[in-house]
Amino acid sequence: MSKRNDIDTLRNLSGDIWNVAVDEHQAGFLKRRDLLKYAALIGLTGFAASHGLVGSGVARAAGAGGTVRVGLGQPTKAIDPVSITDPASIGVISQVGEYLILDDPKDGLQPKLALSWEADETASRWTFKLRPGVKFHDGRTVTAKDVVASFERLVDPASGSSALSAYKGILSKGGAKVVDDETIAFDLDGPNSNFPFYVSSDVYNAVILPADYAGDFEKNFNGTGPFKLESFRPKQGASFVRNPDYWGDKALPDRVEIKFFDDEQAQVLALQAGQLDVIPSTTRLELAIEGNPNFKLLSVQASSHDEVHLRTDQAPFTDKRIRRALALTIDREAVVKGLLKGRAIVGNDTPFAPIFPSADPSVPQRKQDIAEAKRLLGEAGVPNGFPVTLTTERAYDIPDYAVIIQNFARKAGIDIKLNVLPQDAYYGSAKFGSSPWLDSNLGITDFGHRGTPDIFLNATLKSSGAWNAAHFNNPAYDGLLLEYGKARDLQAQRLAAGRIQTLLLDETPLIISYFSQYSRIVSSKVEGVRFTAISHLLLDRVTFAQA
């Protein structure tokens, strides 16, 4: 087929919203992969399937069978999909729990328990069709009642849901409704063209559970996934076996065995001893296996970032010139090359990671400019700088990043003292007034990957945002956020995004100097390990090299 005919075929698939994306693809503004991702976003799942994005009928591969052995950290509390927040728990529920949609790092939104979805003209009501005949591990068939109950649970403040901050202003109690046994309608709090991401694996709590779920997940791990529970041992680990009644392609491995570890060094030692096949990755662990042909590092680019917040309602950061001055001291390229060993992309002080199709690439990139930083400080009345305390968490590379910021700031006369706390102390109650994270004058917080910037834009920057550690209260920003949410095509989204990016560069409530890759370390004998940048671990396609 000629390119001209191919474009005409694409145009016949849907209406004006889709055709704007086709125009952008034809003009070279939208990559083919992003076009396919956008097709899934607006519910063109048939198009995605015809282009090889939805697998079917995968033959049993050579090297199938056996046990995949995984090392993870200790879950921070009982494993309950409704309330989990830690990477280990997300890795565990990945074996048994599923979502309406999977946000695949390579191909975007992929149908799982939902077969299709579409929005009304305002993007305020979204309708989802369920895959028929899917069964929970206990044998019961999944219906719309289970889906509605799952989301009603997640938006209920009394449920202990960790997804409340994600759904605030998006979906409220009563918003999910049963249309028929295989159809669910979501009436949103306001228009949102990216809502499919909110019912996908991006909200890791949004696992579909039985309507009568009573909070006892560890008792049976009753989900719909490709593996089902064999045994669970708190503080020690869990094992899962292939689910023979799985609705899709049956898992290739016979078993998954997960062991919990108290420290990362013990994980890498077990991997090196041949006792594990897969472990999480950190910079320190990557150095331990560097150059060793027995192991390989797998990575996906993510929107994960370590966000520096500046209290816009508290001196000295009430003056945006001072906020911009601090941001201008940072050499972002040096941070990416040095701290992150090149496994990241440079950020521009907004949540719009370059991997988001809606990001406006024409917005100028902020770079280190010490002279301009000093000029702004002088203009703001502090030509010799000022002292300030930076509070953060002892996790990942963040303490090292804090030292780097401290050293850069010193070049402009800003004297930063560091207050590095254990993670639980840093987050406190995770509520304003009793959380160093949300109450500190200056801080660094790690944010995991999302497939769309919406959750970051709402939770961390909206005046009513549950994670608004900068205490940013800007009516113009809130208005632009509404404009962005109403945008029905990529062109309109990018226009709104550009205005948001420009405003945030001017105001600088946050410093986001990089977006990290997410990695796993695996044995070179293992193939088919997949994962998301938000800690899901997908092992159903794993095979082992033949001896």
Q: 318-361, pLDDT tens digit by residue?
A: 999 999 999 999 999 999 999 998 989 999 999 999 988 889 99
Mean pLDDT of 293-301: 90
Confidence of residue 448 (pLDDT cuts 50, 70, 90): confident
- As a whole number of angstroms, the distance between CA 211 and CA 143 comes to 9
Q: How many CB atoms lie within 10 A of CB 179?
A: 13
| E strand or H helix at 232 | strand 227-233
CATH 3.30.428.10 is held by the domain 305-517: no
Q: How many CB atoms lie within 10 A of CB 224?
A: 27
Q: Which of 221, 224, 220, 222 is nearest to 246 (CA)?
A: 224
Q: What is the pLDDT of residue 38?
A: 53
- As a whole number of angstroms, the distance between CA 407 and CA 469 comes to 23
Q: What is the pLDDT of residue 56?
A: 42
In the chain, what percentage of residues exceed pLDDT 70?
A: 88
Contact at 8 Å (CB) between 494 and 483?
no
Tens-place pLDDT, residues 197-226:
999 999 999 999 999 999 999 999 999 999
Contact at 8 Å (CB) between 523 and 277?
yes
Side-by-side strand order, sheet with 183-187: 114-119, 125-130, 183-187, 176-180
- As a whole number of angstroms, the distance between CA 437 and CA 286 comes to 29
Q: What is the pLDDT of residue 301?
A: 87
33's CB contacts (< 8 A; 6+ apart) are: 106, 107, 108
Buried b (16+ CB within 10 A) or exposed e, 408-446: bbeebbbebeeebbebeebbeeeeeeebbbbbbbbbbbb
- As a whole number of angstroms, the distance between CA 425 and CA 411 comes to 31
CA R_g for the chain: 23
For 272, list phi and psi in degrees, rounded to 5. Answer: -65, -30
**Is the confidence at residue 396, as pLDDT, over 90?**
no
Tens-place pLDDT, residues 20-74:
455 545 555 455 555 555 555 555 554 444 444 444 444 456 677 999 999 999 9
In the chain, what percentage of residues exceed pLDDT 90?
A: 71
Confidence of residue 409 (pLDDT cuts 50, 70, 90): very high
Q: What is the pLDDT of residue 492?
A: 87
Mean pLDDT of 174-189: 97
- As a whole number of angstroms, the distance between CA 80 and CA 77 comes to 9
Tens-place pLDDT, residues 232-273:
999 999 999 999 999 999 999 999 999 999 988 899 899 999
3-state secondary structure 387-421: EEEEEEECCCCHHHHHHHHHHHHHCCCCEEEEEEE
Residue 244: is it exposed, middle or buried by C-beta count within 10 angstroms (0-12/13-18/19+)?
A: exposed
The DSSP code for 311 is -
330's CB contacts (< 8 A; 6+ apart) are: 368, 405, 408, 511, 513
Contact at 8 Å (CB) between 141 and 170?
no
> Which regions of the chain carry the CATH code 3.10.105.10?
305-517
- As a whole number of angstroms, the distance between CA 271 and CA 276 comes to 5
**Is the confidence at residue 499, as pLDDT, over 60?**
yes
Mean pLDDT of the chain, nearest integer: 89
Q: What is the pLDDT of residue 55?
A: 43
Mean pLDDT of 361-390: 97
**Is the confidence at residue 192, as pLDDT, over 70?**
yes
Q: What is the pLDDT of residue 175?
A: 97
Q: What is the pLDDT of residue 328?
A: 98
**Is the confidence at residue 113, as pLDDT, over 80?**
yes
116's CB contacts (< 8 A; 6+ apart) are: 43, 45, 128, 129
Mean pLDDT of 439-451: 93
**Is the confidence at residue 308, as pLDDT, over 50?**
yes
SS3 197: helix
**Is the confidence at residue 497, as pLDDT, over 90?**
yes
The DSSP code for 492 is H
Mean pLDDT of 478-487: 90
Confidence of residue 487 (pLDDT cuts 50, 70, 90): confident
